[in-house]
Chains A and B, each alone.
Chain A
Amino acid sequence: MIDVYSVSQLATYLRELLETDLHLADLWVEGEISNLSRSTAGHTYFTLKDGFAQMRCVMFRRQSGAGIALENGAQVVAHGRVSFFEKRGELQLNVDFLQPAGVGIWQAQFERLKAQLEEEGLFEPSRKRPLPSFPRAIGVVTSPTGAVFHDICQIVGRRWPLAEIVLAPTPVQGDQAAPGIVDALAALNREPDIDVIILARGGGSMEELWPFNEEMVARAVYASRVPVVSAVGHETDYTIADYVADRRAPTPSAAAELVAPDRADIRRRLAGHQLAMAGWLAGQVARHHAEVERLALHLRRAGPDVHPQQERIAALLRSAMASVAQALTARRERVNGCAIQLRSLDPRSTLARGYAVVQRRADGRVVAKVGHVKARDRLDVQVSDGNFPAEVSKQYAF
């Protein structure tokens, strides 16, 4: 039996055939624009051609042209999918993105995805979430080998060792990178205690950094339950992941510093709070002192013992003094250092070694030479632990 199809059936078959081909659904074509026209609905029609062939193209109104002015004769690179326009029996390219030719194809792909995701709202500033002030568990998506992870651990360990670092290892370049990053992000999102994620990679060529420009990575970052800090390549490298992330850090080390608060700063804040409270208590004591006295008198007359209250206030004052003292410890230690140095210059240490200071009783003058004394002069001799009187019997010069 020979089937006879209607034209509609054939057209539908062709359209479905074309539209189910993955390659035809996502491709880049380079050519020259001709027959440019715009419909009243705002759609743009043109033909892309080269020396041998041409292809009808349509660009619907809401598709961006990456801001380029369309004109006949322009050499462009178009992204889109091939479709079959049944009404006119024509094959056409539905263009969703245009770039002037000559821009590298990586760059064109980057700009296309960036424009698309921006329009979808993936870069919305209002969606950016604040980072936790004191992270408990920091997820890190990066390669398990290499300096990046090591650097992050060093910095977090120095600044905020209260946190746990949880590595979700993945390749960060090559074909396995994008799906690996997506899986790693998802795995960390399943850990209930993770409260921030660093997505990091060291520097590399645009091709090496490319996984971070993949759409699936962008969507995985967007889908993350917890804020994501991206740190890909060097300071000058921007990837799509950077635009989607809640924060972008110029380098992996900078990401670690962004995520981990500095323990020293927090210590200073704590000391400030302790001083403020001690100051408050001192103020209270001053203000209430007279009143306590007065009440104490009343109470003493009335009978009950106010001793416990006085004890408690004294104890509180002691703890206030202790915390003030703690804040001054560092300075005291410095002073102690100076004291040790001074002690070595102290004459007493000379006396301790067995030398004595001899003074004339009459006028207190220190005897440094035989000529300073004569027979029967009364003297005071000072040694390390005290002094005793003495008298000159004879003089000898060396």
Chain B
Amino acid sequence: MPSEPAQSFEELFRSLEEAVAKLEEGGLPLEQALSLYEDGMRLAQRCQEMLDQAELRVTRLQEAFAAYREEGANRSLREEIGPYPEEDEPLAEG
């Protein structure tokens, strides 16, 4: 998801919970409450989509931790391991 600077699931979910709490608390002008409702439904939809579309990414820090110290790099490279084997292809015991 590098191309997506979108909000994290946690942020979306928290906004949704806030919207629901505010609605249930009541006391908002109808217009405001309705747009809160619309936002809430959109957030819930977005959350469901994220849950449906998610695919586990498995990466591995490249060896040579020593490179950190020598080159003073502050971020290592991650190499993708994948596609990750399914249930019926167990890794070799080690």
> Shortest CB–CB separation between residue A131 and chain B, in angstroms?
12
- B interface, how many residues as a size bin? 35 or more
Partner of B58, one of A147, A162, A167, A266: A167
Given contacts A146-B94, A147-B90, A266-B51, whether A163 and B44 have CB atoms under 8 Å apart is no
> Shortest CB–CB separation between residue B47 and chain A, in angstroms?
5
- Whether B76 pairs with A191 at a CB distance below 8 angstroms is yes
- Whether A183 pairs with B65 at a CB distance below 8 angstroms is yes
> Shortest CB–CB separation between residue A274 and chain B, in angstroms?
5
- Separation of A306 and B50 alpha carbons in the complex (Å): 37
Q: How many residues of A contact B (CB 8 A)?
A: 50
Partner of B61, one of A133, A160, A169: A169
> Shortest CB–CB separation between residue B46 and chain A, in angstroms?
10
- Separation of A187 and B64 alpha carbons in the complex (Å): 10
List residues of A (111-167) whose CB comes within 8 Å of B's CBs. 132-134, 136, 143-147, 149-150, 153-154, 156-157, 160-167
- Separation of A153 and B47 alpha carbons in the complex (Å): 22
- Separation of A281 and B57 alpha carbons in the complex (Å): 39
Given contacts A157-B84, A270-B48, A323-B41, whether A191 and B56 have CB atoms under 8 Å apart is no
For the complex, is A367 an interface residue (Cβ under 8 Å from B)?
Answer: no
Q: Provide the B71-94 mask, 1 if CB < 8 A to any CB of A, else 0.
A: 000111010010011010011111
- Whether A281 pairs with B24 at a CB distance below 8 angstroms is no
- Whether B81 pairs with A167 at a CB distance below 8 angstroms is yes
- Whether A284 pairs with B33 at a CB distance below 8 angstroms is yes
**B17 contacts which chain A residues (CB < 8 A)?**
273
- Separation of A356 and B65 alpha carbons in the complex (Å): 83
- Whether A168 pairs with B61 at a CB distance below 8 angstroms is yes
List the interface of chain A (C-beta within 8 A of B). 132-134, 136, 143-147, 149-150, 153-154, 156-157, 160-169, 183-184, 186-188, 190-192, 263, 266-267, 270, 273-274, 276-277, 280-281, 284, 288, 312, 316, 319-320, 323
List the interface of chain B (C-beta within 8 A of A). 8-10, 13, 16-17, 19-20, 23-24, 30, 33-34, 37-38, 40-41, 44, 47-48, 50-51, 54-61, 63, 65, 68, 74-76, 78, 81, 84-85, 87, 90-94
